[in-house]
Structure 1
Amino acid sequence: MDKKHTVDKQVFGQRLKYLMTNFNETTYSMSRKFNLSPPSISRYTRGEMAPKITTIREMAAYFDVSPLWLMGRPGSMYEREVLDDTEPFGAEVTLSVFGSIKYQLPVFSNEKTIHTLTLPSDQLAKWGPVFAMEITDASMEPTLMKNDFVVVRLNTFLKSGDLTALHVGESDLKIRKVSFRKNQVILQPHNPAFEVEIYDLNKDNVQVIGSVVYQKRVFERFFECY
């Protein structure tokens, strides 16, 4: 095999497991998505074997990461290298911006807006897996204005004080400041016109998707157009 197509099985397995954890994917969901057997996915994550290059390309596209990074190469996970090209794409990465994030769909299967957001690749590498979305309501004003862009880092941990992206029940993704009281999570809007929401972590279906790590104001976007 060509040296630049060589896969480091151990590193590939570690990185695949990391992505699966952050995207809430299981061995079985991955096997369905990529038409592979569950035992094969398990062997990949244990570093015992690696898939074909075409499958690595498909996985990298799904997780929105560099295929070379997924293969075990050093460098940013968000550099958009092409497997047949030894030159890095550049110092910036352009993210698609999603609108409403539906409960029943994986994040990256939702409908994208016409907008994009460009950020330094080294900053994205520090954050890990992320996605960009447009704020669609006024619940967090003045902190997050309607039509602002935010970058959400994928994680499943609730931390008091964070601006957290989450589903409650089967609702579209919402962003709220979260705090805790015993077994309850309190979702605090910043706009007084919206009500505080309180849910029982043991009874209510609260699904954390991630936390906000970056914001771009709507007026900053407009200035860029002129």
Structure 2
Amino acid sequence: MSTLGSRIKNLRIEKRMTGDELGKVLGISKSTISLYEHNKSTPDDNIKKKICSYFNVSFDWLMGISPIRSVGINQNPGKGVKIPVLGCIATGIPIETTEDILDYEEITPELAATGKFFALKIHGRSMEPRMLDGDVVIVKRQDDVESGDIAIILVNGNEATVKRVKKQTDGITLIATNTSVYEPHFYSNKEIKKLPVQILGKAVELRGKL
């Protein structure tokens, strides 16, 4: 579960900073940073505001009150924009607060300006040969897609899956490329609400391993 300490740690790691470097920015020691990150001490409101200002995140997000942070991605003008590569996404845990960050990928500032993005590492063979185990898919966050789009979907609270979506008036069908591993599965409108079937985003780019 995400805590104040883990959020501070993730912000520092995203910025590729050491505890000593962050301590200098905030005017405190690296040992104090370590205490914060391990939830053995809590920063006062002044330090919290400095953290929010430096990392450009909202106070409510830092405190775990809101799942939305001011900037979901770190951007340097004129350079690539870094987005987190997630190993998995679980139900009920906002993408911004997940601790399962494997790495970071860069997208162009032009693409980043069109919305919020994250990346997901592919597990399994259901989308072969187009997407292979270990590939990384760049995802634009949105709660709906067009019929025929490849989407990242949570079904019944399980780990997120990557499938092509076919929309019908009475429900949707999730379609794998490799039908020998995963047969097309239809969910009625009633099942979509009951399970639920939740669309997290649209796959916009694939990055394969050599």
The TM-score range, normalised by the shorter chain, is: 0.5 to 0.7
- The alpha-carbon distance between structure 1 residues 139 and 114, as it changes in their structure 2 partners (threshold 3 A), is same
SS in 1 for 2:113: helix
Q: Is the counterpart of residue 201 in structure 1 residue 201 in structure 2?
A: no
* Contact kept? 1:91, 1:122, Cα under 8 Å: no
- The alpha-carbon distance between structure 1 residues 135 and 106, as it changes in their structure 2 partners (threshold 3 A), is same
- Equivalent residue number for residue 179 of structure 2: 192
Gaps of 5+ in 2: 1-48, 63-67
* Contact kept? 1:102, 1:173, Cα under 8 Å: yes
- Equivalent residue number for residue 214 of structure 1: 205
- The alpha-carbon distance between structure 1 residues 182 and 214, as it changes in their structure 2 partners (threshold 3 A), is same
SS in 1 for 2:157: coil
* Contact kept? 1:139, 1:189, Cα under 8 Å: yes
* Contact kept? 1:145, 1:217, Cα under 8 Å: yes
Q: Is the counterpart of residue 166 in structure 1 residue 153 in structure 2?
A: yes
SS in 2 for 1:122: helix
SS in 1 for 2:137: strand
- Equivalent residue number for residue 145 of structure 1: 132
The CA distance in 2 between the partners of 1:63 and 1:143, in whole Å, is 33
Q: What is the CA distance between 1:206 and its match in structure 2?
A: 1.2
* Contact kept? 2:87, 2:102, Cα under 8 Å: no
Q: Which digits, 9 at most, give the CA deviation of each residue in 1:144-189, with x for residues without a partner?
A: 1111111111111131100011111111111100112221100000
Equivalent residues in 2 for 1:83-94 (5 A)? 88=77, 90-94=78-82
Equivalent residues in 2 for 1:29-48 (5 A)? none
- The alpha-carbon distance between structure 1 residues 124 and 185, as it changes in their structure 2 partners (threshold 3 A), is same
Quote the sequence identity (%): 23
Q: RMSD of the TM alignment (CA)?
A: 2.5
* Contact kept? 1:78, 1:125, Cα under 8 Å: no
Gaps of 5+ in 1: 1-51, 67-76, 81-87, 220-226
Q: Is the counterpart of residue 79 in structure 1 residue 67 in structure 2?
A: no
Give the letter for the 1:58 counterpart: V
- Equivalent residue number for residue 63 of structure 1: 69
- Equivalent residue number for residue 181 of structure 1: 168
The CA distance in 1 between the partners of 2:70 and 2:176, in whole Å, is 31
Give the letter for the 2:87 counterpart: G
* Contact kept? 1:99, 1:111, Cα under 8 Å: no
* Contact kept? 1:64, 1:78, Cα under 8 Å: no
The CA distance in 2 between the partners of 1:157 and 1:196, in whole Å, is 19
* Contact kept? 2:74, 2:82, Cα under 8 Å: no
- The alpha-carbon distance between structure 1 residues 78 and 114, as it changes in their structure 2 partners (threshold 3 A), is closer
SS in 2 for 1:203: helix
SS in 1 for 2:57: helix
Counterpart among 84, 87, 104 of residue 96 in structure 1: 84
* Contact kept? 1:98, 1:113, Cα under 8 Å: yes
SS in 1 for 2:71: coil
The CA distance in 2 between the partners of 1:196 and 1:129, in whole Å, is 29
TM-score (normalizing by structure 2): 0.63
